[in-house]
Structure 1
């Protein structure tokens, strides 16, 4: 019996048998990756992992201290066995590199679901991971909240860790807080040594550099040092560099030196595949009809969808009930994307046709004149954002063969929004008019 198994036996004696059987027994201790200051366990799904982290991590650390004299950091990962981190090099990463990287080991290229909405970003991220500092440096990944930017960012990091490289992942907020702390303590040499001696720097949410003049100055020099040394830099943002207000020109130009890749909201097939993959990884069993219901009724934020899956699994376990379609509908009814239940597509068509001087019948027709196509795209965009209708339902309304045309229309209008501020203002005005008009009829 190894030390981890002994600790679990000690814990069993301290807690109730029912809770132990449900949450603790599935835990697997990994003696090969654990050290005196780090104890690694694997849980069968993310719900169990989070439960143990919040409720038992401190107790486990204390029991280790009693057993070994050293209080380790308790790490709970999702999986049934030790992950194969050796990669193509055939060696395990340096433990120091792993500790400093602060990466989620479940964020890999294998666990990322690829669809037309994220194909380009995935391909470029993979290329950077395989040949860092060569072709696309920096790599700038941008897109909306919860679409997978952080997953791709950390997948690059995990890939390079497997090649025993020094990887640093940080959010811009963490970078800024460390910068301020070292300025106050007069230890900027340590700060610069930390960030400028890595092989790969991963920065999440770079848009928060906006109007942070001192942080921008420091990041400018850090960027130059790494880039001149041939080290890879990857950043994520919720918008393109040119859309980040208060960003100095010299930084904006450097962000655009390499390659920019965007991630669009996932189409229906990709959302279904993502849900199925997350269920597989977290040990959650859902019937196809439930998966399809979640995919068609939830929004595009993948993190929200993941939270929904965790909630379903948790409620099922706590209530000791199977997850049926009715169970799922009742459990997540408050999370379903119903921004305005009383808004219909007909309401939107009526207002858009009035404002843009286009006949309602033309918007629903197959006409391809420029003004009609523009009005139709706007209606589709507002219907997707102001009503609970899924893409297949919107496609049915317009008599389209399937949801693919809706997906293309959404992608096109998002591109226009990114590049045309006036059009963005028009969308906001139309959206407000639709919401105001429908509220008056309540």
Structure 2
């Protein structure tokens, strides 16, 4: 083990397995280009290189200094050295760029750029397993979850991973599959259609739920599925719901969708949303303060595409108006989006979730009880109701059976004082806000 590999091994123990796997695992030390005053590493892509330079370069330099007595400059390069792939070797002469274009894949959708949290860990792990050994297990892989949670990202990450192996990859939405089918039925060229979809190594189908009640398309897809599966070719599908919940899906297709493995993606927890925003900012060169990132993560719901769009919008508005992105600037820029989300949240939603998370009865929160834990829960509900719903202080006072809004004002003042002095309490409020946003959306 050379000094670079030793340093990476020490770093792995220091930062923990999850963080190491997400960011450092694909970093390769290059002893030939390294010197005593410079440690050279190779990262798989520009995003990973930037992320490591920003977040780990100083730590790596310090670990080298502890090992050798000299603190080197950390040089992170893109590409270059590669670990040997065993047992299978990547075929030589593969034109990955051409394959990517033909497969209609977005090259930015990779496993490295996917933020993993408890809400998507299982889907990520199974997708990676399929990418490493397609057609061997989990065939088909059926990934399901709500809009904007990362299903398409994982689907295309599998395809992008396989490009270097020379696989013939087809990525398509169900709508595109159906339109192509209808078009070639009309022109009498179904042989061409079947040859196209049945001679690939990896078929990636997005939004399979739109097969619902499309009888002719279901019939054709059934035979395509069988041809590929019998030939040991990998099939991966995404949907906004489980197969059993897709209305108008014939039983024989539903049973085949359930043959392999079903992996769901849940709405991201607050920590994951924060990490996603940080990664998007890093990728696009956008600087947002921690307070702004937390505000977006807490108030913008779970749709990752929508969150990323908000970040781009803030950056564009800042450039056009020649103003820095402050918290007030951000609040004003996205106030209409926040208002729309607030209209879907009720005080009852807040009471239900706060009572569950703090182990306090809902009836106690709405009562006149003055025990410490009940008063604390009631104040939190008032604070969240004021910030997450369009209700005014008099309306909140009416909900709690109070004479006027002065008690609400007092509770808000007290909570704000605690937020300013207690970081852990602030984090608790953010986590509760995130859960309320997620669960109220699920009950719409």
Q: Same fold (TM over 0.5)?
A: yes
Within 1, Cα distance between the matches of 2:248 and 2:309? 34
Is it true that 1:130 corresponds to 2:166 in the alignment?
Answer: no
Alpha carbons of 1:298 and 1:343: their partners in 2 closer, same or farther (altered >3 Å)? closer
Matches within 5 A, 1:167-178: 167-178=169-180
Q: Give the distance between the partners of 1:230 and 1:291, measured in 2 at CA.
A: 45
How far apart in 2 are the matches of 1:318 and 1:411? 31
Return 111-120 or 341-350, whichever deviates more: 341-350
Alpha-carbon shift at residue 345 of structure 1 (Å):
2.3
Cα distance in 1 for partners of 2:119, 2:275 equals 13
Q: Structure 1: how far apart are the matches of 2:254 and 2:225?
A: 12
* Aligned positions, number: 313
Asked if 2 retains the 8 angstrom alpha-carbon contact of 1:139 and 1:233, the reply is yes
Are 1:268 and 2:266 an aligned pair? no
1:229 paired residue among 223, 231, 239: 231
- 5 Å-filtered alignment, 1:159-308, equals 159-308=161-310
Deviation at 1:155, TM superposition (A): 0.3
Alpha-carbon distance between aligned partners in 2 of 1:146 and 1:360, rounded to the nearest angstrom = 36
- 3-state DSSP class of the match of 2:262? strand
* Cα RMSD, aligned residues only: 4.0
SS in 2 for 1:202: strand
Q: Deviations over 1:140-176 (max 9, x none)?
A: 0000000000000000000011212111000000000
Distance 1:216 1:348, change over 3 A: same
**Which residue pairs with 1:360 in the alignment?**
363
TM-score (norm 1): 0.62
Q: CA deviation at 1:405?
A: 8.4
Cα 1:410–1:190 change in 2 (3 A) is farther
List, as ranges, runs of 4+ consecutive aligned residues in structure 1 with deviation greater than 6 Å. Answer: 81-87, 362-365, 407-414
Seen in structure 2, the aligned counterparts of structure 1 residues 301 and 172 have a Cα distance that, compared at 3 Å, is: same
Asked if the contact 2:208/2:239 (under 8 Å) is kept, the reply is yes
Q: What does 1:392-431 correspond to in 2, within 5 Å?
A: 402=428
Match of 1:331 in 2: 333
Post-superposition offset of 1:82: 8.4
Query: Structure 1 stretches of 5 or more lacking a match?
Result: 1-43, 46-80, 366-378, 418-423, 429-442
Q: Following TM superposition, by how much is the alpha carbon of 1:341 offset from its aligned partner in structure 2, in angstroms?
A: 5.0
- Asked if 1 retains the 8 angstrom alpha-carbon contact of 2:151 and 2:238, the reply is yes
Residues 411 and 221 (structure 1 numbering): CA distance in 2 closer, same or farther, change over 3 Å?
Answer: farther
- DSSP-derived class of the 1:335 partner: helix
What SS does the corresponding residue of 1:334 show, helix, strand or coil? helix
State the distance in 2 between where 1:306 and 1:341 align: 22
**1:37-186 alignment to 2 at 5 Å?**
89=90, 92-186=94-188
Contact kept in structure 1, 2:300 and 2:338, CA below 8 Å: yes
